[in-house]
Amino acid sequence: MAYVRPLLQPLLILFLSFSLSDGYFTGNSSDLRRLSASDSLCAQLIEPNGYSCTEHSVETKDGYILALQRVSSGSGDLRVQRGHPVLLQHGLFMGGDAWFLDSTEQSLGFILADQGFDVWVANVRGTRWSHGHVSLLETEKEFWEWSWQELALYDLAEMLHYIKTATGSKVFMVGHSQGTIMSLAALTQPDIVEMVEAAALLCPISYLDHVTAPLVLRMVAMHLDQMVLALGLHQLNFRSDVLINLVESLCDGHVDCSDFLASITGPNCCYNKTRLNYFLEYEPHPSSVKNLRHLFQMIRKGTFSQYDYGILKNLLKYGQLKPPAFDLSNIPKSLPLWMGYGGTDELADLTDVQHTLDELPSKPELLYLENYGHIDFLLSVKANRDVYDHMIRFFRSLEKSTSSY
Ligand SMILES: *[C@@H]1O[C@H](CO)[C@@H](O)[C@H](O)[C@H]1NC(C)=O
Ligand SMILES: *[C@@H]1O[C@H](CO)[C@@H](O)[C@H](O)[C@H]1NC(C)=O
């Protein structure tokens, strides 16, 4: 029996490390794709808090089926007309759940519903709540052949169209992080911006070349995107053991990842750290490796452009050597904009935010919070008073000026 021990030990370590990562990231990628009604965002997170919520699905031009939830305050009188529609657009590795993760007094989704807004919750392709594709399976490489460019021009455009048709009203938009990249790209397009009444951007990003988050810079330097492609992966799922191991090896001896969120976003002052395991039941959602490559291109080159395929394929795709830029000066001066940004945010860096502001034709209303980081704008326990009150005042001032017709 002496030969058993050397065999057993590695097996035990393997088993232990599997159950360890299971404890952190509950579920696996096929768990994330369950489609039963009881697993909808409405049923899991919104209705249990006493709010009315209906599930909608939207098909994009390129065949993805997205989930959209419509939320209103449970105490609302149905005979009273619903308020102005607001679309909440989540960020990278997040889904529509991101707006509902704290208490009803703390989370923007609940707060807007309580304030009488007609709240619509976006979920982009590839996230847990969206419903796949008309013909492609998520196990196919082609399913993951997109970046934030398609999320802006197809997903966001289609969801806005759906809401405008359902409500007969232009839409207030709120984006966080990648949701602001999508929003700013989409708002440069005349056929999309005409559906939008105003936009509020949390941690606004168009340029990314001043990112300082240490683990992100290390991922860029080590070409994590190419490493993952070399493994034959096209879906980027940070719940998978392969990705967790890769990231751990990038941290090891190079970056202090003991506060993992801080290593990828910068310090955050005010989210509820005792709820971290609860947040991890929902986050992170999958994205595509191509999306990561597109974001890395922005960090490396300092551009806000379409995906760069390399000179030859660019010529074929775009008819030019370089990918066309999204031109912020095309966003109409008449579109009301509001932005909230923070002093410790290492993804939406102050220099990059200023670059965005310099290129916009209009002067957005600004809220700068020196001690706030990237996650705080979503999850700070006092974002209600620090951030959302200002944003809601901005929306209300527009309701007044448009309610006279
Ligand atoms: C993932 O979850 C599904 C459904 O619960 C299960 O059938 C499958 O065996 C799981 N896969 C792994 C690798 O744990
Ligand atoms: C933080 O989360 C815990 C657990 O959910 C909760 O009991 C506590 O009230 C929260 N703290 C704040 C300040 O919201």
Tell me the backbone φ, ψ of residue 380, rounded to 5 degrees.
-60, 140
Domain with 317 in it:
32-402
The number of distinct structural domains making up the chain is: 1
Tell me the backbone φ, ψ of residue 185, rounded to 5 degrees.
-65, -45
pLDDT tens sequence across 74-89 = 765 554 568 999 999 9
Whether 347 is in a domain gets the answer yes
Whether 378 is in a domain gets the answer yes
Question: Considering the chain, what is the average pLDDT of its residues?
Answer: 89
Contact at 8 Å (CB) between 394 and 365? yes
pLDDT tens sequence across 170-219 = 999 999 999 999 999 999 999 999 999 999 999 999 999 999 999 999 99
Tell me the backbone φ, ψ of residue 288, rounded to 5 degrees.
-105, 155
Q: How far apart are CA 11 and CA 8, in angstroms?
A: 5
Residues touching ligand 1 (Cβ under 6 Å) are 28, 30-31
Q: How far apart are CA 34 and CA 53, in angstroms?
A: 19
Q: What is the DSSP string of 122-153?
A: E--TTSTTS--BSS--TTSGGGG---HHHIII
Q: Which ligand 2 atom sits nearest the alpha carbon of residue 106?
A: 14
Whether 6 is in a domain gets the answer no
- 19 against 193, higher pLDDT: 193
Task: Name the band, by pLDDT with cuts 50, 70 and 90, for residue 399.
Answer: confident
Residue 28 has pLDDT above 60, yes or no: no
CA–centroid distance, residue 375 to ligand 1 (Å): 31
Please give the structure tokens belonging to residue 214.
């240490």
Whether 55 is in a domain gets the answer yes
CA–centroid distance, residue 55 to ligand 1 (Å): 26
Q: How many CB atoms lie within 10 A of CB 351?
A: 10
- 63 against 405, higher pLDDT: 63
Residue 27 has pLDDT above 50, yes or no: no
Whether 20 is in a domain gets the answer no
pLDDT tens sequence across 155-177 = 999 999 999 999 999 999 999 99
**pLDDT reported for residue 11:** 39
Whether 56 is in a domain gets the answer yes
Please, what is the angle between helix 4-24 and helix 241-251, to 10°? 90
Q: How far apart are CA 208 and CA 349, in angstroms?
A: 8
Whether 375 is in a domain gets the answer yes
Query: What are the catalytic residues?
Result: 177, 345, 374
Whether 5 is in a domain gets the answer no
Q: What residues contact 109, with CB distance under 8 A and at least 6 apart?
A: 46, 71, 88, 99, 100, 119, 121
Q: Which ligand 1 atom sits nearest the alpha carbon of residue 29?
A: 1
Residue 247's CATH number: 3.40.50.1820
Tell me the backbone φ, ψ of residue 282, rounded to 5 degrees.
-105, -45
Residue 30 has pLDDT above 50, yes or no: no
Which candidate, 106, 108, 136, 132, places its Cα nearest to that of 120? 108
CA–centroid distance, residue 375 to ligand 2 (Å): 16
Q: Give yes or no for residue 276 CB within 6 A of ligand 2.
A: no
Q: What is the mean pLDDT of residues 123-130?
A: 96
pLDDT tens sequence across 251-261 = 999 999 988 89
Which of 18, 19, 28 to mutate for ligand 1's pocket (most ligand atoms within 8 Å of CB)?
28
Question: What would you measure as the largest C-alpha separation in the chain, in angstroms?
Answer: 87
**pLDDT reported for residue 82:** 80
pLDDT tens sequence across 301-318 = 999 999 999 999 999 999
